[in-house]
Amino acid sequence: MRRTALAATGVVLALGLSACDVGSGSGGGSSSAVVKVPTDPSKVTGTIKVLTNRTDQVQDGTAKKYAAEFNKVYPHVTVKFQGLTDYEGDVKIRMNSKNYGDVLSIPNSVPLKEYPTFFAPLGTSADLSKTYDFTDHAAVGGKVYGIANIGTANGFVYNKAVWKKAGITTWPTTPQQFIDDLKAIKAKTGATPYYTNYHDGWPMTNWGNALGSPSCDPAANDKLATTKEPWAPGQDLNVVDSLLYDVVHDKLSEADPNTTNWENSKALIGTGKVATMWLGSWAVVQMQDAAKKAGKNPDDIGFMPFPTQQDGHFCSVVRPDYQYGINIHSKNKAAARAWIDWFISKSGDAQAALSISSIKGSPLPADLKPFQEAGVRLVHMAYGKTALVDEIDKTSEIGLNNQDYPQHIVDVARGAAGGDKDSIFKDLNKKWSDAQGTVG
């Protein structure tokens, strides 16, 4: 009797409370006018909070230094930073409230079509695309909601010394040649030819970024929206995933993928115990650091494009890193806009990290010089249909940029899960075209 009464009270309370907050979810009706870069820096005031995934910069004082530099131009703006270790997870949850900073890197999990709900427009595509690259990656209805600071090129980070020891001095030009080279490394050097970083998972998501490299096609991503079978022979995803599959299937990767360790992998490649990893140009600096710390030559770390050529040229897709947006609920939008503008064009952050600046016409960083010399084409992806491709991707539960997708390929390739290469591709093709049917 008592118990029932108690339980009933609880349920009634719970229902009452939940009823209260049903309405509170809807947005605050903030204006969706374009936030322009302020023309007179001395008139911009306010305090802005910048959410960032770069906890290292917040801790080592780099962020504060940038803020001090910024204050020389905008003396009346106070910039505060909040570094978040689990950036994606934390920010996604905070975006259910209005409190997600003033300036933030747009989390990858936010679908493009919802950008206007959460972020203030920074300008029209027509205007901003004159100055910045990658603007269409965050554009909805002709307005741009986020600007990237840097772009990264995709390729293999490799240890030149190890490759040389195996007698290989030129970049492989076909997937088959790449596999043969790895076999030579295994036979002649004793190094692990390829390291998957399977356990940490997120480094594997770079495999999804290889899309576009084999075909050298800037529209590779957009084409996914209409391609019924993106894993059919000859298609980019087929070429890319086959390479990963073959590397693992031919036992050219580490013995136990389940105990790999990202931090440790840097030292492994730095000291030549591992020869190759598929990552992005952002990783080169970190690997060189690791080599230096281990007492090896940092110049041993090199970067090579995906082993396919179109008309005698390698291609490497350049994708934007996090894009900076302004919280639509921010009270200091002008100050926030000023910060984004200053950070991208004046702070020198992109150059310091040896990254490709998103400002059109900027020179390439030093670690991509070999790319330039070898005539590698840097393909800037078009993102006109990202919203649709995203939706198909989520509905199909494939997750082109999730770790489960390459992980499953590794599982099958090493015999840990049932199936073979053909059955994986068949399954992926089916999921993709089914999802196209429901979304399209």
Partner 1 sequence: MSAPRTAGRTPPARTLPPPDAARSHWHQPHRKPVLWRRRGTWWGTPWLYLLVPLTLLVTFTLLPVVHMVQYSFTDWDGLSPTSNWVGLDNYRDLFTRPQLFQVFWVSLFYLGASVVQICAALYFATILSFDIRLRNLFKGILFFPYLINGVAVGFVFLYFFQPGGTLDTVLHWFGAGRHLWLGNPHLVNTSLAGVSVWRFMGLNMVLFIGAIQSIPPQLYEAAALDGASRWQQFRYVIAPSIRPIISLSVILAVSGSLSVFEIPFIMTGGSNNSETFVIQTIKLAFNFNKTGLASAAAVVLLLIVLLVTWVQRLLFPDERVEQS
3-state secondary structure of 113: helix
Torsion sign, CA atoms 220, 222, 224, 226: negative
Q: Indicate which single residue of 8, 14, 68, 232 sits in contact with partner 1 (rule: CB under 8 A).
A: 14
**Binding marks (x or -) toward partner 1, 97..136, rule CB under 8 A?**
------------xxx--x--x-------------------
2 binds partner 1 (CB under 8 A): yes
Q: How far apart are CA 421 and CA 409, in angstroms?
A: 8
Nearer to partner 1, 82 or 117 (CB): 117
Token reading at 86 = 């689990």
- Given a contact cutoff of 8 angstroms between Cβ atoms, the answer to whether 62 and 69 are in contact is no
Host H or E run for residue 220: helix 220-223
| Binding to partner 1, residues 80-99 (CB under 8 A) | 89, 92, 95-96
Report, in Å, the least distance between residue 175 CB and partner 1: 25
Binding of residue 409 to partner 1 (CB under 8 A): no
The reply on whether position 9 binds partner 1 by CB under 8 A is yes
CB of residue 416 to partner 1, shortest distance in Å: 4
Q: Are 364 and 350 in contact, with CB atoms under 8 Å apart?
A: no
Considering only residues 42 to 61 of the shown chain, the ones binding partner 1 according to CB under 8 A are none
Considering the rule CB under 8 A, would residue 397 count as an interface residue with partner 1? yes
In angstroms, the CA 360 to CA 169 distance is 33
The reply on whether position 416 binds partner 1 by CB under 8 A is yes
* Cβ atoms 198, 257 nearer than 8 A: yes
- For partner 1 (CB under 8 A), the number of binding residues is 41
**Binding string, residues 181-220; x marks residues near partner 1 by CB under 8 A:** -----------------xx-x-------------------
Which 299-318 positions form the footprint of partner 1 (CB under 8 A)?
none
* Phi and psi torsions of 412, nearest 5°: -65, -40
Q: Does 31 bind partner 1 (CB under 8 A)?
A: no
Residue choice 8, 10, 42, 141 for contact with partner 1 (CB under 8 A): 10
- Rounded CA-CA distance 409/249 in Å is 10
Least distance in angstroms from the C-beta of 111 to partner 1: 7
Q: Does 403 bind partner 1 (CB under 8 A)?
A: yes
How many angstroms separate the first and last alpha carbons of the chain?
A: 55
26 part of the interface to partner 1, by CB under 8 A? yes
* Long-range Cβ contact pairs of 174-177 (< 8 A, separation 24 or more): 174/307, 174/308, 174/309, 175/239, 175/242, 175/243, 175/246, 175/307, 175/308, 177/307
CA 12, 17, 20, 26 torsion-angle sign: negative
CA distance 171 to 397: 35
Q: Is 426 in the site for partner 1 (CB under 8 A)?
A: no
Reading the block at residue 415, the tokens are: 């015999």
Q: Which CB, 150 or 244, lies closer to partner 1? A: 244
Nearer to partner 1, 242 or 396 (CB): 396
Subset of residues 256 to 285 that bind partner 1, contact rule: CB under 8 A = 256-259
The binding site for partner 1 (CB under 8 A) comprises 1-2, 6, 9-11, 13-15, 17-18, 25-27, 89, 92, 95-96, 109-111, 114, 117, 198-199, 201, 255-259, 394, 397, 399, 402-404, 407, 411, 416-417
